[in-house]
Amino acid sequence: MKDIYEAEIFKKRGFYTKRCVSCDRVFRTLDPDRRTCGDTPCDEYTFIGRPATKKRYTLPQMEKAFLRFFERRGHSVIKRYPVVARWRDDIFLTIASIADFQPWVTSGLVPPPANPLVISQPSIRLNDIDNVGRSGRHFTLFSMGGHHAFNSRRQRVYWVDETVEFCHEFLTRELGIKPEEVTYIQDFWEGGGNAGEDFEVNVRGIELATLVFMRYSKGDGKYVPLHLNIVDTGYGLERLAWISQGTTSAYEAVFGEVVAKLRELTGVEQPQAEVLRENSRLAGMMDIETGRDLLALRDKVAARTGMSIDELNRVLAPLEAIYAVADHLRCLAFMFGDGITPSNVKEGYLARLVLRRTLRLMRELKLEKPLSELMGLELKYLRDQFPELWERRDYISEVIGLEEERYRDTITRGGQLVERVAAGLRQEGERVLPTGKLIELYDSHGLPPEVVKEVATKAGVNVEVPEDFYIRVAKLHSQAKRLPAAAIALPRARLERLQKTKQLYYELPYTREFAARVLASFDGFVVLDQTAFYPEGGGQPSDVGTLISPKGKANVLDVQKVDGVVVHRVKPNPFKVGQKVHGKLDWLRRVSLMRHHTATHIILGAARKVLGNHVWQAGAQKGVESTRLDLSHFKRISQEELQEIERLTNRVVMGGCAVKTGWMDRNEAERQYGFDLYQGGVVPGKQIRVVEVEGWNTQACAGTHCARTGEVGPIKLIRAERIQDGVERLEFAAGEAAVKFVQGRERQLLGAAEILLTEPERVAAATRQLFERWRAAKKELERAREQAAELRLTDLRTKAVQVGALRVICEVIEGASVDELIKVAGALIRADKSMVAVLGTKDGTAQIVAMAGDEAVRAGADCGKIAEVSANVLGGGGGGRPGLGQGGGPGINKLEEALEMAKKICEQSQQLRAGG
């Protein structure tokens, strides 16, 4: 069998097979004198200042050249997929071009949209986010050029020979790179459960492409051959543009105009070209993951340039921050342009992470411009290449503006939280904030580590921020956590050899009764050859009803589907294999579920029209009396918006639109309807069931629906609430359930009218009138209380005794709450700065509040000690600061004794002061 690494071009062109003297890897080259593999750190970048290609390319020009090259060689050009992987349930973001075709195409279940194909896919990886800006080459979002071929036993498209030939021809003939400068390093790739041999393609010290020959799946440490042999290539288009320009960093090549504008806004000067050149060359030789790595890089650059490390930090750190801001702006443009809503979960969390890191960098740069204004610059820069992002600029700008405001609020509120955490650590004798707690403060409260460090340091607690902080946080949220499959209480082995159940609920959705034959019967379960009972799925409960045979009758309590076999849970179970049975659905329940499920599609369509196309179904639970629909949205839905959604929804119902259902080829459905198909979640299979509310909304959906919207009946929105950051929940009723809800509200209105002695149409006015009267009475009561409090204060002041430099009041205020004690004591010490007010109350337990004015504190008063010792008398505990103390205990009968003790402590403090 031919060695997969022995590509025909190597023999035909006379490539040498060598082993790198530095890393010991095997590589191919046309240069007989080459001793190293051509990749860093074995080789430095040698293209900076001397481009490797015959002409200069911008990134859009390089993308166009790449796509056209492969199109001329028989590849179909595929449009980019969204950067949010809506078609997958294992990852949130599109991380590579091959991710577009996983898992359905790569598993062989679904044919590819074209074969072979070529695509330029914006891909997001946040595992190197802390390196962006300072390595010269890392990006959060990058353009992966991929040409792919899917080879099966029936169809060979192309494999290793052609793949390497295409790559070499593109680099040398199309771009004009000298053939002897290209090296092909042998390697083995693993990822996403797949594996295969690969070549890493390098030119002048930088890897430009990876050619993977995916032919294994990996599980339990074993490699199993795939049904397909897949050519999975990834060309770094940013890197290709970089080597064509020879600029000092990839950021200058890709974001030149944006970087120039950011430098102008911040006043950051461009360092000398020699410094930038050496910094990028040396950064390419290292993985800049920690502060130690960065220091080592600075040290090496200093040695080459003669500058001090402090001087290098002064000139390079601001520019690195600018590079990172430019990168993050592009990443955010795609994230929000492709419909991600910022939140604290899933892809919304990752978008917020990038956004808040951008704001933190702007803070470091003292860049006062709104982030939305900077995004406007980025969107103009991207407009020609990605017009769809420009079309969504209003949404992108609004989201960023709101997120920036929330960030400021978080910083303001978070300071107090950090102070409390720091105080808790000090009490435990700790002086260093654990890294886990630092991550928790960001993860749960959105507090950037730099802000935590600033506040905690002032509070006497040290904070060490890991250089890879944002990488660590991103890793926590980069992959979807798959929920375990619901356990079904039946032995699956009993179902393995059974034929798939004929699904009458799809073929004849209005069937109320049906005949069937029993295929299996065990414990409390029955399997039939066909059924009209809908099995639970897609947020829709199963049907219930009865099964009848000559031998007996059973209630159908639950229905589930396992690998195409529909299982009915029944009570009792009188059925035998081979018997004929008659099934009867609880039709009122089924038709209500059909109405609510259809209404879900209609409301979702209305919400997207009112709120915007970024709205995505985040969950749904259909019910008989009401249904919940969760929507991703970046702010609360206003009352006016809710009313408009309801109005549009009922307009569609009254229009009597057709609701079409049918099975479609997955690729055809995606071509026709796009990835909005997956609003209800990822749907498996080569064929998917598509439900279209004609001219309104289309989804892949396995539920039961009405044939026309008019059958749904009236739809009433019951309530809207924010169930988590970025997710709004709508609860609604449809059909007869909506009528019942409205009638219930009407009964409540009539009841209120009866209580208020008015007509229903005047309830609002009568309620307001009653409220105004109540408010006036409340104000009158407050005035009376204030007068009584003033009299109480006057009375208390007469009871003050002089204790040294202090005026001391120790009194019980019957019936007062602790809050009232604090108010009274506060008023006393504001009027007399030498006052110590110790007040007690009996409120279930005995409670004491002690407060001292500024002069009293300077004279030695310690309310914390007063509260502690007095509370001990009560059999409890207390404490506080010199100016304020609180305590309490169960000893109600000893309250007067405790107040006497408070007075003694004051006397002792004055005696000590006099003696000192």
What was the pLDDT predicted at 278? 79
Choose the most confident range, by mean pLDDT, from 129-133, 265-269, 483-487, 615-619: 265-269
> What per-residue string of b and e applies to 400-433 under the rule 16 or more CB within 10 Å gives b?
beebbebbeebbeebbebbeebbeebeeeeeeeb
Indicate whether 576 pLDDT > 90.
Answer: yes
Residue-wise pLDDT for 808-847, tens only, equals 999 998 888 888 889 889 999 999 999 999 999 987 899 9
Considering the chain, what percentage of its residues have pLDDT values greater than 90?
Answer: 56
CA distance 541 to 689: 18
Indicate whether 892 pLDDT > 70.
Answer: yes
Tokens of 872: 């001990």
718 C-beta neighbours (distance < 10 Å), count: 16
Indicate whether 670 pLDDT > 90.
Answer: no
Contact yes or no for 321/133 (Cβ under 8 A): yes
Contact yes or no for 547/568 (Cβ under 8 A): yes
With H, G, I as helix, E, B as strand and everything else as coil, classify residue 302: helix
Residue-wise pLDDT for 589-633, tens only, equals 999 999 999 999 999 999 999 998 888 888 888 889 999 999 988
Q: Which of 328, 259, 411, 331 is nearest to 95 (CA)?
A: 331
387 vs 37, 80, 379, 382, 392, CA distance in Å? 41, 13, 9, 7, 9
CA distance 39 to 897: 83
Contact yes or no for 226/102 (Cβ under 8 A): no
Q: Which of 432, 419, 416 is nearest to 459 (CA)?
A: 419
Tokens of 905: 């402590």
pLDDT mean across residues, the chain: 88
Contact yes or no for 167/210 (Cβ under 8 A): no
CA distance 416 to 414: 5
Residue 513: which region, alpha, beta or left (left: phi > 0; alpha: psi -120 to 50)?
Answer: beta
CA distance 782 to 225: 82
- Degrees (nearest 5) of the Cα angle 648, 650, 652? 70
DSSP letters spanning 675-732: GGGGGG----SSEEEEEEETTTEEEE--S---SBGGGG--EEEEEEEEEETTEEEEEE
- Which has the minimum average pLDDT: 157-171, 189-203, 468-482? 468-482
Q: Which of 606, 624, 643, 629 is nearest to 734 (CA)?
A: 624
Q: Which of 330, 317, 275 is nearest to 124 (CA)?
A: 330
Calculate mean pLDDT across residues 126-133: 84
Residue-wise pLDDT for 512-540, tens only, equals 999 999 999 988 999 999 999 999 987 89
Calculate mean pLDDT across residues 550-573: 92
Calculate mean pLDDT across residues 373-383: 93
Pairing of strands 530-531, 502-503: parallel
Which residues are within 8 A (CB) of 466 and not within 5 positions of it... i.e. 6 or more apart? 290, 435, 472
Q: What is the dihedral sign for C-alpha 303, 304, 307, 309?
A: negative
What was the pLDDT predicted at 639? 92
790 C-beta neighbours (distance < 10 Å), count: 11
- Degrees (nearest 5) of the Cα angle 255, 261, 267? 125
Calculate mean pLDDT across residues 645-664: 94
Calculate mean pLDDT across residues 319-346: 91
Residue-wise pLDDT for 873-889, tens only, equals 999 999 999 999 999 99
What was the pLDDT predicted at 486? 44
φ/ψ of residue 129, rounded to 5? -60, -35
Indicate whether 315 pLDDT > 50.
Answer: yes
With H, G, I as helix, E, B as strand and everything else as coil, classify residue 93: strand
791 C-beta neighbours (distance < 10 Å), count: 10
What was the pLDDT predicted at 458? 75
Tokens of 608: 């997207």
Give strand pairing partners of 540. 537
Residue-wise pLDDT for 474-504, tens only, equals 666 655 554 444 444 556 677 878 999 999 9
Indicate whether 715 pLDDT > 50.
Answer: yes
549 vs 331, 370, 372, 504, CA distance in Å? 63, 73, 69, 19
885 C-beta neighbours (distance < 10 Å), count: 27
20 C-beta neighbours (distance < 10 Å), count: 19
What was the pLDDT predicted at 481? 53
Calculate mean pLDDT across residues 131-144: 89
CA distance 193 to 785: 73
What was the pLDDT predicted at 470? 65
Indicate whether 445 pLDDT > 80.
Answer: no
What was the pLDDT predicted at 446? 67
454 vs 415, 439, 467, CA distance in Å? 9, 15, 16
What was the pLDDT predicted at 912? 85
What was the pLDDT predicted at 539? 83
Indicate whether 126 pLDDT > 90.
Answer: no
609 C-beta neighbours (distance < 10 Å), count: 15
Calculate mean pLDDT across residues 90-111: 85
Calculate mean pLDDT across residues 324-334: 96
Q: Catalogue the E-assigned strands of 302-365.
A: none
Look-up of token digits 């309250």? 895
Confidence of residue 469 (pLDDT cuts 50, 70, 90): confident
φ/ψ of residue 11, rounded to 5? -75, -45
576 vs 504, 518, 555, 569, CA distance in Å? 22, 7, 16, 14
CA distance 40 to 281: 10
CA distance 111 to 240: 31
Which pTM value belongs to this model? 0.76
CA distance 144 to 235: 6
CA distance 509 to 598: 13
DSSP letters spanning 477-539: HSB--PPPPPP-SS-GGGTTTSPPPEEHHHHSTT--EEEEEEEEEETTEEEESEE-SPPSBTT
Residue-wise pLDDT for 382-441, tens only, equals 999 999 999 999 999 999 999 888 888 877 777 777 777 777 777 777 778 888 878 877
What was the pLDDT predicted at 649? 95
Cis peptide upstream of residue 572 (ω within 30 degrees of 0): yes
Helix H segments across 552-611? Answer: 587-611
